[in-house]
A and B are shown apart, each in its own frame.
Chain A
Amino acid sequence: MTNQEFENIIKKSLKTNASPDRGSFSHLLSILNNPVTETKQVRYSIQTPTSNIISRITSFISIWRSNRIILVPSFILLLFIGIFSLSMHTTTYGSSIEQLAQKDESIKELAIVDDDDPALSITGFDEPDINDLSILQNDL
């Protein structure tokens, strides 16, 4: 197929029989003279609250789609920062618990009483020494 033939096919493909169902010129003029009614495009902006919400969501999605090249890496970066800060927080919290556990362990160790420990052997309370004669005499 020559270039000319190919271009003819393109031309025929792009040519359209679409005839516009246009509004009359007087209608356009009335719109121009009355800015309240404006064009059909402006008509879209006169919306109910629900359609406003929908259009906002749609525009947000379109912004997201058009700027995803910037937004996606930013989002991933933010996610990493979030995870990192959370892990830091967890580590501090974990180390505090560890310290508390160690303290607890040392307290428990102190609380264990060894009966054979000579340092802890009880030598006596207030029992009188039977060899102490002075006491006996007093009793008499």
Chain B
Amino acid sequence: MKEVDENQEHLKSLILLAKAGDDKAFEEVYNTYYTPLYRYIFTRVKNRQEAEDITATAFMKIWKSISSWDMNHTSPISFFFTVARNTLIDYFRKNAHKEIVSDEVIMQYAEENGDSDNESISVELRGAILQAVSQLSEDQQEIITLFYTNDLTYKEIAEITGKKEDAIRQTHSRAIKRLRDLYKY
């Protein structure tokens, strides 16, 4: 999200235009935030088609609620990720059975969606880490995903989840400790 931070001012002006109903400005915002939101959702659901559907639904919600969004109260990152998170929660509520992802799906996900820029990490190692992450509690999984897939800060995660920054820090630290216990490679 560093590149997003650099263009924060530009984005703010675009968002202001989008709030006023400018389609072109919203399109730029959409193009900037689509991939970070998609990656966060995809890491959680581990299904490409469903991740795309959820992301599209999240953007529809953003478009509908953008005019009522108070930019002084909530930052753009928090706003976009909060809507995505709520859409994801709705999805899991309606599809409770899909929350449990099998080891097979995790390994397939590890094989197909590895980071191509990074050759130092094997599929087995990636699979082992992903399996360990899937055994964390819901809160821990969410924080770990937000923290590592989009480089969000504790403060931003606290804003998105509506929890205190200290609580996020503590959950993150516990999650890392548990991952170290679970990690067997």
Contact = CB atoms under 8 A, between A and B. Distances in A.
Interface of A: 3, 6-7, 9-23, 25, 28-29, 31-32, 39-41, 58, 61-63, 65-66
B97 A14 contact: no
A39 B23 CA distance: 18
Interface in B128-158: 129-130, 133, 144-145, 148-149
B145 A40 contact: no
A15 B42 CA distance: 11
Contacts, number: 112
A20 B31 CA distance: 11
Give the size range of B's interface with the partner: 35 or more
Contact of B57 (A7, A11, A18, A41): A41
A6 B180 contact: yes
Given A14-B43, A15-B149, A9 B53 contact: no
A16 B43 contact: yes
B82 interface: no
A30 B42 CA distance: 24
21 contacts: A7-B148, A10-B176, A10-B179, A12-B121, A13-B121, A13-B125, A14-B149, A15-B115, A15-B149, A17-B114, A18-B38, A18-B42, A18-B48, A20-B34, A20-B42, A20-B51, A25-B30, A25-B31, A28-B63, A32-B64, A62-B97
